[in-house]
Structures are given as C-alpha cells and as structure tokens.
Amino acid sequence: MFPLQTTVVSRHPAIVTWVLIGVNALFFFFELQLAPESLKSFMMLFGVVPARFTNPQWASQLGIPVDSYWPFITSMFLHGGWAHIIGNMWTLWVFGQHVEDRMGPFRYLTFYLLCGISSGIVHTIVNSGSTMPAIGASGAIAGVMAAYLMLFPTSRVIVMVPIFIFPLLFDFLAVFYLGYWFLLQLVSGSFALLSSSMQESGGIAFWAHVGGFATGALIYALFLRPVGERRGPYLDEGTYEHGWLG
C-alpha cells in the first residue's frame, strides 16, 4: 500500500521537509557518479555497520575507523537505488509536511535527526554482528510517521494498491494504516531475527524502522509548537464529512 496523500491541511510551508528531500537527492546523485567498488567503500564508511562498533578488530582490519559515530547521521542521507529514495522521499513529503506544520522548522529538524539516530542505534543493538551497511532515511521517516499518527489519528490516508496493472485507491484512518505499518515492521523484524540474516529478509533494516517509530511516538510531544503558536483545526481535518458542515 503506497500512501498518496492525507486529509490534513497544513498552514505553514514545509521548508525543512523540502530541504531534507533536496539534500537526500544531492547525496543520491553523488552516489550515482561513483564506480561500484568506490560506492561499496563509501557505504561501508558512511553507513551504519553494526560490527564496526561491536567488533573493532574486524573494522580495523578493513581500515574502517572505529572511533567515529558520524554514520548514525550520514547514513540517513544515503540510499540504495531509485525505488529506495523515491519511496522514502515521497513518504517523507506525505507525512512530514504536516508534522513540520505542528512543530515548526527547527524543532522538526531536531526531531527528525533524533529519530534517525535512534533508529541506527536500535539496529546496531539488535543486529550487533551484521557486517552490512544500513542506509536510508526510513528510520527517521518512521519517527515522522509516528508523530503524524499521534497528532492526527482520525485523519484519512489515501493509498494506492496496485493489482496487476490496475491501481486501486483506498482511504484508511491514519491509526489503522500507520498502526498496520508498524505492526508489519515488528513482525517482519522478528522473523528476520529468527533467520539470523538480514540478507534473508531482503536487506531491510526492520528494527531501524521500529526504533525510529517508537522514538517518534515517545518524544514527539516535546517538539510541538507552544500552544499559542498552534493553529486551530480546519473543518475538513480528520474526515471528509466535516467539510460539509456549515
């Protein structure tokens, strides 16, 4: 199920969300210029490789610095392909603009980065022996999705479900759509642990998603605009029917 839009209307421009999308795009285009071997080394250096922190001897043998924690930030801006970055950036736009609207640009940026860092830490703890670099903004975006869920649980999310070549459109309450998404990450991450191999789960860092989402749900309230700065709800915010009331 691919989210297309929500029924929430934002009042403030989503400046930071657009900047994050732009920075991610710049990094991705830089990646495209690298030769395969250089790209592999780049990902190992700037992606989150759990064994780098849990097995310093292994990292030293490969020439990977063991005293740098920048990958917990830099990994958020790296992606593994067109589908990866397009899916992440679209999801960031769909949900991020409304969360930024409620937090303000600077609080939102801090919140985003903290969720991303937390997702990398959780991934490292759960997959401590992994030698694969975890990259992508999905952990930070998971935190944004959690904040959206907490702020707008009864809003509607319009999603596309492709059936063969036919795109079908549905709308779900945010609490059901995002709750289902989180449950899917939790279950998939549990199965990945049982398989003891991230390769067998398609290389998806499910526990990074879980960590980012849980962090977002726990700390989002600390980053909301002060009450006096918040806007009131629009008539059509939450469900379509409200838009037809007086």
- For the chain, give the mean pLDDT: 88
Mean pLDDT of 10-35: 96
With respect to residue 230, please indicate whether it lies within any of the assigned structural domains: no
Domain-located, residue 245: no
pLDDT of 100 over the 90 cut:
yes
pLDDT class for 21, splitting at 50, 70, 90? very high
Tell me if 26 is assigned to some domain.
yes
Residue 243 inside a domain? The answer is no
Give yes or no for residue 202 having a pLDDT over 50: no
Query: What mean pLDDT is predicted for residues 99-109?
Result: 96
pLDDT at site 176: 95
- Specify if 246 maps to a domain: no
Q: Determine how β-strand 156-163 pairs with β-strand 166-173.
A: antiparallel
pLDDT tens for 135-173 read: 999 999 999 999 999 999 999 999 988 887 788 888 899
* Lowest-pLDDT choice from 12-16, 22-26, 47-51, 57-61: 57-61
| pLDDT value at 112 more than 90 | yes
CA distance 183 to 175: 12
Domain enclosing residue 195, as ranges: 2-225
* Nearest-angstrom CA–CA distance, 176 and 153: 8
Whether 233 is in a domain gets the answer: no
Q: Are 189 and 206 in contact (CB under 8 A)?
A: yes
Structural domain count, the chain: 1
Report the percent of the chain where pLDDT is more than 90. 67
Domain membership flag for residue 239: no
Classify residue 88: in a domain, yes or no.
yes
Indicate whether 240 pLDDT > 70: no
- More confident position, 151 or 233: 151
Assess contact for 197 and 204: CB atoms under 8 A: no
CATH of the domain at 9: 1.20.1540.10
Q: Which pLDDT value is given to residue 82?
A: 95
pLDDT at 190 over 60: yes
